[in-house]
Amino acid sequence: MKILITGGCGFVGSNIAIYLKKKLKQVNILSIDNLFRKGSEINKLRLKKHGIKNYNLDIRNYKKINSLKKFDLVIDCCAEPAIEASFKEPDRVFETNLVGTFNILKKCINDKTNIIFLSTSRVYSIQNLKKLVNKHNLTQPIKIKNTIDEKFKTSLPSSLYGFTKLSSEKLIREFSFTGKIKYIINRFGVISGPWQFGKQDQGFISLWIARHVL
């Protein structure tokens, strides 16, 4: 079995790749990553130590993606998650997060490859999320009766990042219906862990620990 992990040199992708490599001895794990983000080179070395090859490719380039060998499963971890980047470089965010997923899906359809897509809680509408906390003092623990699940509203504005991820989810469903491929969509909330290079809006827990605990 062959598994391709997109964004394999990112925080999530690298940890998934190494975990699967340790657990699935007979499975060939490979990565694609354009090494754009800071820390990617470090994670590339981590992958190499575990015998995981990374293809230095940009998922926006369909010709390069389509030239890859056939895989049994794609785990799509590739995305620009920083909300700040949505304001500064909207074209890059749109092309990476949505066009990139489109390219991966076309490859999956051609090869009859199943896909696991890592989405985000950012798909949920900001206005509806704000209503949950209302005017509570967020410096103290609060009790919220309403919960967030896959049926929570996504129709109102979220962010460019949220829009691209929600649109990618819909693309996957469309391609699955027409191309007969299986998929899993997992919407992550705040995630944190080893080898996360903290920023204010992405990895802020790691950043806080680095500043106040270590």
pLDDT above 70: residue 31: yes
Q: With 60 as the cut, is the pLDDT of residue 200 above it? A: no
Supply φ then ψ for residue 39, to 5 degrees: 95, -15
Distance, C-alpha 16 to centroid of its chain: 11
Counting every residue written for the chain, the total comes to 214
DSSP annotation string for 31-67? EE----STTHHHHHHHHHHTT-EEE---TT-HHHHHT
Show the tokens assigned to 65: 């993606």
Average pLDDT value over all residues in the chain: 85
Block residue for tokens 């994670």: 43
Tell the residue number behind the tokens 């790691």, with chain if given: 206
pLDDT digits over 72-99, tens only?
999 999 888 776 767 788 898 899 999 9
pLDDT in tens, 34-47: 998 878 899 999 99
Of 188, 172, 168, 191, the C-alpha closest to 180 is 172
| The pLDDT value given to residue 73 | 97
DSSP H or E run through 2: strand 2-6
pLDDT value of position 166: 92
**Beta strand segments in the chain, E:** 2-6, 28-32, 53-55, 73-76, 114-120, 183-188
pLDDT, residue 80, reads 81
Per-residue HEC secondary structure of 167-186 comes to HHHHHHHHHHHHHCCCEEEE
| Euclidean distance between CA atoms 105 and 84, whole angstroms | 27
Share of the chain above pLDDT 90, in %: 55
Evaluate whether 10 touches 40 at the Cβ level (below 8 Å): yes
- The residue behind tokens 């130590």 is 49
Q: Where are the domains of the chain?
A: 2-212
* pLDDT given at position 173: 95
Q: For the ranges 2-6, 64-68, 185-189, which has the lowest average pLDDT? A: 185-189
SS3 content of the chain, % helix, strand, coil (to 5): 45, 15, 40
Higher pLDDT, 11 or 128: 11
Instruction: Give tens-digit pLDDT for 131-150.
Output: 766 766 666 676 766 677 77
Q: Which two tokens stand for residue 100?
A: 């990139």
pLDDT at 161: 86
Is the CATH code 3.40.50.720 the one for domain 2-212? yes
Q: Return the DSSP state at 76.
A: E
Please give the pLDDT value at position 197: 66
Which of 123, 15, 4, 169 is CA-nearest to residue 73?
4
Q: What are phi and psi of 145, to 5 degrees?
A: -75, -40
| Maximum C-alpha span of the chain | 53
Query: Is 0.75 topped by the overall pTM?
Result: yes
145-194: pLDDT as tens digits: 667 777 767 776 668 888 999 999 999 999 999 998 999 999 887 777 77
121 secondary structure, DSSP code: G
With bands split at pLDDT 50, 70 and 90, how would you rate the model's confidence at 121? Answer: confident
